[in-house]
Amino acid sequence: QALLTQEDLAEILDTDVRTIRRDIQALRRKEMMVPTRGQIKDIGPGVTHRVKAISLFLEDKEPLEIARIIKHSLTAVERYIDTFCRVVCCQRKFRDNLKTALVVGASVATVNTYLGLHADACEDPAYRERIFEIEKRGRIYYKAVDFKKNHGRIERRPR
C-alpha cells in the first residue's frame, strides 16, 4: 500500500505543508482520518525523516538517491537539505537558536536537531568536505536573497 507524507500531499496539491497539517487536523476533529505514511507506519514526527535525509546527505549521498532510500519526493529532500544548510549558515551568524529558527522559518526543535547533526559531523574528519559544501551552500543562499532585496536599488553617493 503506497502512502503519501504530508510533504508529498503539499507538493501534489501545490500548497504549503502547514495548510495540509491544518486541513488534516480539521478533518480529525470531524472524526475523519487521513492516512499518511507517518500515521500508518508510526514513524513519529517529521523530524525523523529529515534526520535520516540529512544523515545520508552528510554521508555524501546525492538528493535523488536519498529520495529513493527514504521514499520521499526529490523536492522534499532538497528542501530538507536547503533548510539544513541555511540553519548552519544562520547559526554561525546569530549564534542563537531562536533567531536562527525565525530567520530560516523552521521550528526550534528542528534547528536544535540540525545543529546536533552538524556538531557530530564536524567532529568526524570524514565529513570535512561535505561540511565545507554545506556552509558554502548556506552562504550562497543568503547572498542570493540579499541580491534580490537590493536588485534595482540605486546607490546614493555621500555628499
- pLDDT tens per residue across span 81-136: 999 999 999 998 889 999 998 988 888 888 999 999 999 998 888 888 888 888 88
pTM passes above 0.75: no
| Integer angstrom CA distances of residue 54 from 23, 31, 92, 124, 131 | 28, 35, 19, 15, 12
CA–CA separation, 9 vs 84, rounded Å? 22
Look at the block and give the residue holding cell 555621500. Answer: 158
